[in-house]
Amino acid sequence: MARRVFFSFNYDDVADFKVNVVRNSRALKNPNYKSTFIDKSLWEEARKKNPTALKRLMDSSLNGTSVTVILIGGNTANRRWVNYEIVKSFVEGKGIMSIHLNRIRSRLTSKISMKGPNPLSRIKLRVDENCSKVHFFELVNGKWISFVDIPYVNNRKSNSFWFSDGGIWYESHGGKEFKFSDLFPFEFCWINDDGYNNLPHWIEKSAKQIGR
């Protein structure tokens, strides 16, 4: 099945060209796996304007994709726009997965680096008591605070997950909280898990998890 994939990463974190290792992998040379990277020049131009322009750029790049892949470096977690792309991917009903880049050798130093935290472990959602809305939070300085760029959305089946208000045979999700890392558990190391050969399989797993 043809898939379009959006890659989320921190631009300040990829000066050593690790993202390009993924970008140039054989999986993304396959026409069935079209990918979306926001060009750095477009990003910088939008950032000079205002947050609305940045959101518009990211939203248009997410349009038509099935899966969002987070490329994790040392400073990817707790970045405003990475978190926005993650939450927006949930709202748009995407599969989400994460790949650690730390064991890819830097083009600048030829060294590997420390493994950075997964941004998905620092974002959570809370379903309200009536299962009518889903509220989003991010972990900042050890405290969970409302995610101001997308504080909440309606609980709807077009999201990545729909939360049930319960019934005779199953428990309501009302009032429950879920970290994104629990909802989207597919987390890999590009080197140790052989991303060069396995990326297409990971993409399929992530898409099928949310019924795409």
Q: What is the pLDDT of residue 11?
A: 79
Q: What is the pLDDT of residue 33?
A: 74
Q: What is the percentage of the chain residues whose pLDDT exceeds 70? A: 97
Per residue in 100-117, pLDDT tens?
A: 999 998 888 888 988 999
CB contact burial 181-191 (16+ within 10 A = b; e otherwise): bebbebbbbbb
**pLDDT-based confidence at residue 13 (cuts at 50, 70, 90):** low
Q: What is the percentage of the chain residues whose pLDDT exceeds 90? A: 67
pLDDT of 204 above 70: yes
**pLDDT-based confidence at residue 14 (cuts at 50, 70, 90):** low
- For residues 138 and 48, the model is more confident at 138
Per residue in 62-92, pLDDT tens?
A: 999 999 999 999 889 989 999 999 999 999 9
Q: Report, as an integer, the average pLDDT of 147-164.
A: 97
pLDDT of 29 above 90: no
Contact 116, 189 (CB under 8 A): no
| pTM of the full structure | 0.93
Distances 163 to 20, 39, 129, 142 between C-alpha atoms, Å: 37, 35, 11, 27
Contact 184, 120 (CB under 8 A): yes
Q: What is the pLDDT of residue 177?
A: 98
What is the token pair recorded at 53?
Answer: 């322009």
- For residues 85 and 50, the model is more confident at 85
If you search the block for the tokens 């792309």, which residue do you land on? 85
Per residue in 136-152, pLDDT tens?
A: 999 999 999 999 999 99
Distances 164 to 117, 170, 184, 194 between C-alpha atoms, Å: 30, 9, 18, 37
Pairing of strands 67-72, 3-8: parallel
Q: Indicate the helix (H) or strand (E) that contains 99.
A: strand 95-100
pLDDT of 44 above 80: no
**pLDDT-based confidence at residue 30 (cuts at 50, 70, 90):** confident
Reduce the DSSP state of residue 33 to 3 states and report it. strand
Q: What is the pLDDT of residue 46?
A: 81
93-184-134 Cα angle (round to 5): 55
**pLDDT-based confidence at residue 1 (cuts at 50, 70, 90):** low
